[in-house]
Amino acid sequence: MCPRCDDDRVTTPEPLRTDQGLLRASLRPSVRRRPRRDPRRLLVPAVVATAGLALGGASAWWAAGAPQTAAVVSAALGPLSTDPTGPAETVDRTGSQSRASGGRGLLAPDPVEVPPELLLTDPPPGIVALPPGLTAQDVAAGLLSADVLEAGAGTFSVVPGADPGPGTGAVRTVRVEVEDGLAVDGAAFAATVMATLNDPRGWGADGSVSFARTDGDAELRVLLASPTSVDELCAPLDTEGEVSCGTRGRAVLNLRRWVLATQEYAADKTGYRQYLVNHEVGHLLGHGHETCPGPGQPAPLMQQQSYRAAPCIPNPWPFP
């Protein structure tokens, strides 16, 4: 072996030329030739390159011509699996279809069912979000905060507006007022008061009276006041900052009760607010207190239900 020869160099005999043309091969010693490569192996890169070029330039053509391409590869290399009749294995790429599914659309995700109790409900008109601790019914009654202010400004503002009495009988005028400093929507509070007074189950159910709201002089005044102001306006009655009163032409409603109601009315604060309006206005109409007629019966409206309705059933209406 030639010690200075490059193992990778391959030489071939050079033909010997004469003036008469090609005569014979050179007698130079030949270097060991490399073994010839299997032509089928040489075909693999060409086929792969052809397939890659087709994928990069026209993926749609590949989906349509995949069987023909597979046939070319199979003819050149022979069967690629032990089961020549079995289907070719598909390639699964995240976010794309496999080659075998090129003609099929993507599967749509299954719909998700949301329990009805988790669905959002719209707050009352004009309210973007309910204040903490309040329900839609609380806001409809005029409350803007669940906090009870123990003492307001001591002065009162008349809720502007007028509303004629809808019923028959004698019309009694009502003026609605809210103590300054309270977190209360006066218009919503006034609407609750008048809707309660003119309800078909209210004092006008027998056709004897109806109520009309005014912001001027009125026969009856309905005031929403802080516990401290209630005690001052109701004296000499002892309200102890807890209950309300109806006296001297004024139905003075305690903010504490308007916000919290009572234990018996805890699940129906709207019902308690209706009771409070009807009961205190009832005093202004000349009605005195009554007692429970018997266990399980509806409590008379003029029963002092702010203290206790039992053994009767709580009832906010004079004509339930």
Mean pLDDT of the chain: 76
pLDDT at 106 over 90: no
pLDDT at 77 over 50: no
Quick one: which of 278, 265, 147, 113 has its CA closest to 201? Answer: 278
| pLDDT tens-place string over residues 163-173 | 988 877 899 99
| pLDDT tens-place string over residues 236-293 | 999 999 999 999 999 999 999 999 999 999 999 999 999 999 999 999 999 999 999 9
* pLDDT mean over 288-312: 98
CA angle 315, 140, 173 (to 5 degrees): 70
Lowest-confidence segment of 53-57, 105-109, 154-158 by average pLDDT: 53-57
Q: 294 falls in which pLDDT band (50, 70, 90)?
A: very high
Can you give the chain as a three-state secondary structure string? Answer: CCCCCCCCCCCCCCEEEECCEEEEECCCCCCCCCCCCCHHHHHHHHHHHHHHHHHHHCHHHHHHHHHHHHHHHHHHHCCCCCCCCCCCCCCCCCCCCCHHHCCCCCCCCCCCCCCHHHCCCCCCCCCCCCCCCCCHHHHHCCECCCCCCCCCCCCEEECCCCECCCCCCEEEEEEEEEECCCCECHHHHHHHHHHHHCCCCCHHHHCCEEEEECCCCCCEEEEEECHHHHHHHHCCCCCCCCCCEEECCEEEEEHHHHHHCCCCCCCCHHHHHHHHHHHHHHHHCCCCCECCCCCCCECCCCECCCCCCCCCECCCCCCC
| pLDDT tens-place string over residues 13-63 | 444 444 444 444 443 444 455 555 554 544 444 444 444 444 344 343 334
Lowest-confidence segment of 23-32, 176-185, 304-313 by average pLDDT: 23-32
